[in-house]
């Protein structure tokens, strides 16, 4: 979600609730996807130079931790900025309701009539809602900003969730390197990565209501390209 969504322009609607719920699912799936693609590539990049299992293992773990925290800080900062912007806008609304309740009442009535509510009823609704300052603020925030003043997001939770999501994805191609005595760990890693990519791609397709198989294949293809390039680079540089 970009900050543009919250630009203070008349008529801008952000559909807070739907975006928050969808945002969580999307962030989760894409976090897993990021972790998977990043670490499949990183692991194969190192494996391409055949430096021994312990080096690959270390690189994979470092990739998991570094990537996870990078995702978490990015998520935290963007959510924090969003939240502060929203809270600023809500505060503007709160002050406006206190300072010029008449103008705000008329504004609310006009919003209702624009929505197709009959003028007399819209007027009564607006008068009733404006009587309770709390209810008035909630209604204005919802109608004008598309948010509930008490639900402007939880940056820390979002950060922790994206850290976990990334770590889950990054862990998958690392599994063969962590188990003792796995022969051909590179190929097992490729297999785990491919399987994980298919599951993540399928999930994206399912949530987006697009083809599950098509998205599974697309995700596997993208991961395969990224992994092949880093494998080649690792092979050439490491040789």
Within 13 A of 72's CA, how many CA atoms are on the CB side? 16
C-alpha pair distances (Å), 169 with each of 105, 162, 197, 202: 51, 11, 9, 14
Residue placing its CB nearer to Zn ion in the complex, 141 or 198:
141
Contact 223, 42 (CB under 8 A): no
DSSP secondary-structure letter at 137? H
CB 6 to Zn ion: min, Å:
16
Q: Quick one: how far is CA 56 from the chain centroid? A: 29
Choice from 140, 172, 176, 196 touching Zn ion (CB under 5 A): 140
Considering only 18-26, 98-106, 126-134, 208-216, which stretch makes contact with Zn ion by CB under 5 A? 98-106
Rounded to the nearest whole angstrom, what is the least distance from the CB of residue 104 to Zn ion in the complex? 5
Residues 90/149, Cβ–Cβ less than 8 Å = yes
CB of 124 to Zn ion, least distance (A): 18
Q: Which is nearer to Zn ion, 89 or 104 (CB)?
A: 104
Distance CA 146, CA 137 (A): 12
Least Å distance, CB 121 to Zn ion, is 19
Residue among 34 and 104 whose Cβ is closer to Zn ion: 104
Contact set with Zn ion (CB under 5 A): 104, 107, 140
């Amino acid at each position: 979600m970009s900050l543009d969504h919250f630009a203070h322009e008349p008529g801008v609607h952000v559909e807070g609730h739907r975006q928050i719920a969808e945002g969580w699912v999307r962030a989760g799936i894409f976090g897993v996807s990021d972790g998977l693609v990043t670490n499949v590539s990183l692991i194969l990049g190192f494996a391409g130079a055949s430096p021994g299992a312990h080096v690959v293992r270390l690189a994979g773990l470092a990739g998991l931790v570094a990537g996870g925290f990078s995702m978490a800080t990015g998520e935290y900062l963007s959510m924090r900025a969003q939240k502060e912007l929203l809270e600023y806008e809500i505060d503007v609304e709160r002050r406006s309701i206190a300072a010029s309740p008449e103008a705000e009442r008329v504004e609310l009535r006009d919003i209702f009539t624009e929505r197709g509510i009959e003028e007399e009823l819209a007027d009564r609704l607006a008068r009733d809602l404006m009587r309770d300052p709390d209810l008035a603020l909630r209604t204005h925030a919802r109608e004008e900003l598309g948010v509930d003043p008490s639900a402007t997001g939880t940056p820390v939770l979002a950060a922790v969730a994206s850290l976990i999501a990334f770590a889950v994805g990054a862990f998958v191609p690392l599994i063969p390197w962590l188990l003792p005595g796995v022969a051909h760990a590179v190929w097992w890693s490729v297999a785990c990565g491919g399987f994980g990519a298919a599951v993540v791609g399928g999930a994206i397709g399912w949530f987006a209501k697009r083809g599950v198989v098509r998205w599974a294949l697309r995700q596997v293809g993208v991961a395969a390209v990224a992994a092949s390039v880093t494998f080649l680079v690792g092979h050439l540089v490491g040789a």
